[in-house]
Structure 1
């Protein structure tokens, strides 16, 4: 019987820049989350008497700010050594050999596989051989699996690889390869890193992304942790996902259809959050709310999004959701107007809408507004505020869509007043 843990993408002390700009953000809890998650991993390994931990890259998020990051990791490895746990790891694109200049000695239970070429490390007492290669540089664009050593007969062969495989959304295509490449090596388990979601890509042999140990931002939602692998006497492999994160990120949709005002929207918030709170199981929960639907409240919402965000935060506090932090509110509501009729009408309001829609396709359709727009962009840049590129068709279309959503309820009400 063999048990081991597959972990990756710890991103220890990830800087999480910009958190201070968010009102009420639990900055300390979020910044320390990667350390607490690593402690959870070590606690679990010790409590379950797991003899082997394999880590498939990106222990660190980049060059250390100081030695405290490396010292913290070394301390956790000492805890594992004292409990009798071996650790075999590789470096990925974030902690490649060329990126981390500061070095610290790790305890002798930790083996970091070579960055010069693929390497095999045999653990005789466990009957295991681990194969892999650390990244020598950030951008490893060649298929390094083709040079991995062959499987060792009579051993349980584990392959470590930091890769996007054939490509994954939001992840650079490092160490590209195919599922066929991995299966052809004859290993009994492939422990992959780089993609931050738990994914089983193949059953026999198991090929898995364990995902990141702790979600770091709103695009890394849901449970995060490691994979526990158990091999019975017959060689049959089973595995299970073990959540180890200390906080969760979630994106939820609040249906504001027919809501008359922001108070009604606040009242709908509590019921919508309950399932996410239950899923978080007493963890800190950071939530981004998308408010959708056609409603009379649209004009009020668009007029002051900041007031709406804080009204919703007050509702969260009033409902005693102490572990919930509303990270951001995104408005995707619409005014209850006949947009086609408004656009086609021979009125100044209709002409404005037609101009805005034409400008989505062609920036030259805004000649009269260009000086004012450029003046505004210059002021924003002077304040250090990121500005959209209005020459980029996608950014321009998104910006003008927001402008239209903001204007529609006001020009619609103006038309009604004229009538």
Structure 2
């Protein structure tokens, strides 16, 4: 096939019908040529197309749902495999010639080769469609001995861990620069050793790093300036599980993980499709997750009965379901606000849980599950007014507030939790640290919110 520039077609002569037919034919040619990654626009500019993914964590369990009655345990256990399958399906459907994986294909140590064999089978599917895969090992991959022992298919290129490596894909006009982790905890700046970008190619940096993101181990630490100095057209980052475009021209992008594993990884998870013409780079996020995590809050202020409070939560949950766009939802339910229903919601935790779970099942038709229920409501009491009152409840409130703020006053309670701590430890729950001012204040305020409404109920009786 031969590309024909518009000026050449005009010089060729002929009527308008001929040119219209030729334009249609050329557009179809360009559509099919995208399979090889050699697409050009009518001005001859090469189109670069690839998919950027990271943090697959294959066979990592989803935490928090195993004890939920009715949850499809087998489906949840295989969620990361399904997400990987969706990634491969997407690459094939988009007819892109290149997949980049920015580390953590695996999830630390796996007990047998089945996890690695499953990954290889998916990569062979890509090979059958002419797709090249370039990847690096992240901290979780480096932690696994079998990762190094199991060979990958021929279309998969794992960049070296000894030093930065550049893989040139001439047929795509792309140079991929990257370095795998040699060990789990890489504390040196790997990006500093990456080579400068090549002016004749589209340069991609493949790196597993936190890049200063809070809440993540500071592996392969570097700065934005370190990346910009290399003059690459695109940085494909991994390690941070939230998708984020940190910089444009050049693009510095975290793809995020392909499947959230617990409630601390909420929202859509997936990969990004990158399409570049010259200096114009377009990044499109595509969700892949099969179970989506969310935290659904509801202000239930004013609710007189538990059923009314849960109905208010259900309204927020239905909004979350719409936001999930058909993906199964796993969520944490949080009820807040001051209401008359507070005392019953707190005292009868089993009934509250049943009401919330039933509301979620009805609203989702069984396609959503509750990870945890947090009742953070309070009583309908004006604490400031009560604290000024000359009543037994006012005296109690002033004493509780004093204990919350003053360690010496708290010590007068002689709250020996040694025996309680022993029982709590067997459940796996955390024992409150009364030496921590914030923790002591929280515990005392929770006790206040439980005791005062019951005293009020006693008065009414």
Q: TM-score of the superposition, structure 1-length normalised?
A: 0.92
**Relative to structure 1, is the Cα distance of residues 401 and 321 closer, same or farther in structure 2, using a 3 angstrom cutoff?**
farther
Describe how 1:236-385 pairs up with structure 2 within 5 A. 236-319=280-363, 321-367=365-411, 369-385=413-429
How far apart, in 1, do the equivalents of 2:184 and 2:409 lie? 43
Residue pair 1:25, 1:327 contacting (<8 A) in 2 also: no
- Pairing partner for 2:432 from 370, 388, 402: 388
| 2:446 aligned residue (391, 402, 411) | 402
Greater C-alpha radius of gyration? 2
Consecutive unaligned residues of structure 2, counting only runs of 5 or more, are: 1-46
Distance, in Å, in 2 between the alignment partners of 1:320 and 1:164 is 36
Asked if the contact 2:61–2:261 (Cα under 8 Å) also holds between the matched residues in 1, the reply is: no
Q: Equivalents in 1 of 2:140, 2:407: separation in Å?
A: 39
Match of 2:233 in 1: 188
Question: Structure 1 CA distance, aligned partners of 2:258 and 2:166?
Answer: 25
Q: CA deviation at 1:174?
A: 1.7
2:172: which partner in 1?
Answer: 126
Gaps of 5+ in 1: none
Cα distance in structure 2, aligned partners of 1:115 and 1:398: 48
* 1:288-312 residue CA offsets vs partner (Å, 9 max, x unmatched): 2221222111111111223111112
Matched, 1:2 2:27: no
Shift of 1:245: 1.0
**SS of the residue 1:126 aligns to:** coil
Contact 2:236–2:254 (8 Å) recurs in 1: yes
Work out the CA distance in 1 between the residues paired with 2:139 and 2:108: 9
| Other-structure match for 1:67 | 113
| Contact 2:64-2:262 within 8 A present in 1 as well | no
Preserved CA contact (<8 Å) 1:90 1:133: yes
1:78 to 105, 109, 124: 124
Q: CA deviation at 1:270?
A: 3.6
Match of 2:260 in 1: 215
Q: Report the 3-state secondary structure (helix = DSSP H, G, I; strand = E; otherwise coil) of the residue aligned with 1:20.
A: coil
Number of residues of Structure 1 aligned to a counterpart in Structure 2: 414
Q: 1:14 maps to which residue?
A: 60
Q: What's the TM-score, normalizing by structure 2?
A: 0.84
When residues 391 and 68 of structure 1 are mapped into structure 2, their CA distance, relative to the original with a 3 A threshold, is farther
With over 3 angstroms needed to count, the CA separation of the structure-2 counterparts of 1:342 and 1:135, relative to structure 1, is same
